[in-house]
Amino acid sequence: MLALARDEAAGRRPARLTEARLATWNRFRGRLKATDLLALLFEDAAVVHPVPFDPARIQGQFDLNQLAEDRIASWLDAISSLDLNAPGTDYLLDQACLLGVPTRFARSELLVVKPHQRVLELPGTGGQLSHYLVKTIPGLALRDNFTVACSNWREATLAGIAALDLGASSSDFITSIDPELLKAPEHPLRQRVFDVVIGPDRGGIFRVENQLAIWFPSARIQLV
C-alpha cells in the first residue's frame, strides 16, 4: 500500500489512496469495505506490475482476504501522516528490513555500468543493487539494463517495490528462479549474454566468482 501511495505522490498514478478523505472512494463505495478498495487497487496495479501486486506471480504468503478490515482502515487513516517523498534509498532499506531481506552490501564498490550493458543481479538482494545503480548512474533503466533474479517471494516483493520507486514501466525484468536449477547449463538465464553479473557477497547463494565466471563467460562478475 505504501508503494502505491508513494507512486501517487510522485504523480505516476491517479490519487486514490492519497486523495483527501478518500473522497471519490467514499462517494461510490456503497457497501464495499476497505478490503475491497485495497483489492481493487492491487488488481489495477497488477496489470502493469504483476510483481509485486499479483500474489500468484510471486508465489507469496500475502493474501488480501486474510487481512483484517480494521487493520486496513487504520493503514488508510495513517497515509496522510506519512512522508511519501522520503528518499528512495532509505525507503527501500526500510522495506527490505520489514521483509527480512539482507541489506548490508558494499553498494559503493559496484562496477560502473554503461547504458548499453546488460546486467544480471543474482538472488539474495531483492533488486537493491540495481536500484542503487539506477539511482547513481545517469542513463540506466531497470527494464533496459537489468534482469533481477529472485529466489523467494520476499526478494521478488522487494524487487517490485524497487521498480515502483524508480518509476519502471513494468516489472518484466524481475524473474523468480530456483537456485538449484540455475546450476544446469540449459537454464534460460545461462543461455543469455550478460555484460555484468552482480550479487551479494554475504549470505548469497552463489559466492564463488570462479564458478560464476564459468556459467557466464562473457560477463564481469562482482559480489559485494
pLDDT digits (tens, 9 = 90+) for 113-149: 999 999 999 999 999 999 999 999 999 999 999 999 9
Identify whether 128 is part of a domain. yes
Q: Are 177 and 96 in contact (CB under 8 A)?
A: no
124 and 66 in a single domain? The answer is: no
Tell me, what amino acid is at 162? A
CATH number at residue 171: 3.40.50.150
76 and 108 in a single domain? The answer is: no
71 and 110 in a single domain? The answer is: no
Number of domains in the chain: 2
Eight-class DSSP state of 100: T
Identify whether 30 is part of a domain. yes
153-211 pLDDT per residue, tens? 999 999 999 999 999 999 999 999 888 888 899 999 999 999 999 999 865 667 667 78
**HEC string for 75-112:** HHHHHHHCCCCCCHHHHHHHHHHHHCCCCCCCHHHCCC
Find the domain containing 169 and state its range.
Answer: 104-223
66 and 114 in a single domain? The answer is: no
Rg (CA), the chain: 19
Q: Which of 18, 50, 81 is the last residue of a domain?
A: 81
Record the pTM.
0.93
